[in-house]
Amino acid sequence: MRKMIPLILGMDPGLEVVGTAMDGLFALKKIALLRPDVVTLDIDMPRMDGLETLRRIRTEFGTPTLMVSSLSKRDAELTFQALELGAFDYVTKPQDAISLHINEIGDELIAKVKAAAEHGRAGRGTTPVVRLVVPPPPKTARTSPARSAERVLAIGISTGGPNALSCLLPLLPKDFPAGILIVQHMPEGFTGMFAARLNSLCGIEVKEAQDGDLVLPGRALLAQGNRHLKVKQLPMGTIAVLSDAPHVCGHRPSADVLFRSVAAEYGAQATGLIMTGMGNDGAEGIGEIRARGGATIAQNAESCVVFGMPKAAIENGHIMHTLALEKLGDFLIRHFSAKEVLHGAEH
């Protein structure tokens, strides 16, 4: 990996690899000497592991750091810890990283290194943009409502998403009146663990979506890695439908697929929320929610780790409300308590 990553990054003329290090201790010395714009950091290293190295980088240098993780359950857990410590984002190694399949992560790695550099130039460093302290809800048994949700909130999110969702979802009460559907760009094997982490923080129920799951008030369904999430209204209620259809906007799951599905099934009772992330996934699909009378919301630039996805939707003219992350919880509670869709602009 230490040999392959410089080769991949060196393919882009806008990037220069100024050094490599065999472990965390050497890395800290080289960062002090070379002062790079971005660091890529493995989780598993001798002498000083990735998490301790990340803590030191954050404290001593503030350099945006991109974690390089395997797809193992252990590394997935450590990756989430790294994001909580302030890592900018992560990329996952192919399972056979010693082969030429390492090139499969090339485009993603280059794009994320460039985004991390821009993040650093904006003065945000490695610190999460917003850290809300929310008392953990009492863990009492939840009684699922008998009827499926009549209104739905669909969320599309990517880079910076784990921290942003960890800030937003705990603000929603257990009796939140709408169903919630989430596309977070995340690899297969990570989403189940991420849903469980969110569920431990929230009053609402959060689970990884399975085929046939009912869309219920106060329940959030997180799209599985590598599968699109759609909904279908049936006599028994609205259910989640998972799909292996081709990637859309380079992603599976795709926010565009989710937004178009909820627009078709829920019409004016759908609300779309597009949050921090690279690229333009969701920018067109959220427009279909608005065209059918639903409400559309974007996270603002100042509270995004990367403003790409919300910016694209705003520039397309599809967004009615633009709000900071820390204001979204209260807005959504008021919005779904209202009998009619809240129209107009709010910033």
- Catalytic residue numbers? 158, 185, 281
Residue 23 burial (C-beta neighbours within 10 Å; 0-12, 13-18, 19+): middle
Which residues are within 8 A (CB) of 7 and not within 5 positions of it... i.e. 6 or more apart? Answer: none
User: CB of 294 within 8 A of CB of 271?
Assistant: yes
Strand (E) or helix (H) holding 206:
strand 205-208
Q: How far apart are CA 268 and CA 265, in angstroms?
A: 10
Q: What is residue 293's DSSP assignment?
A: T
User: CB of 184 within 8 A of CB of 154?
Assistant: no
Q: How far apart are CA 118 and CA 125, in angstroms?
A: 10
Q: How far apart are CA 217 and CA 334, in angstroms?
A: 15
The SS3 call for residue 259 is helix
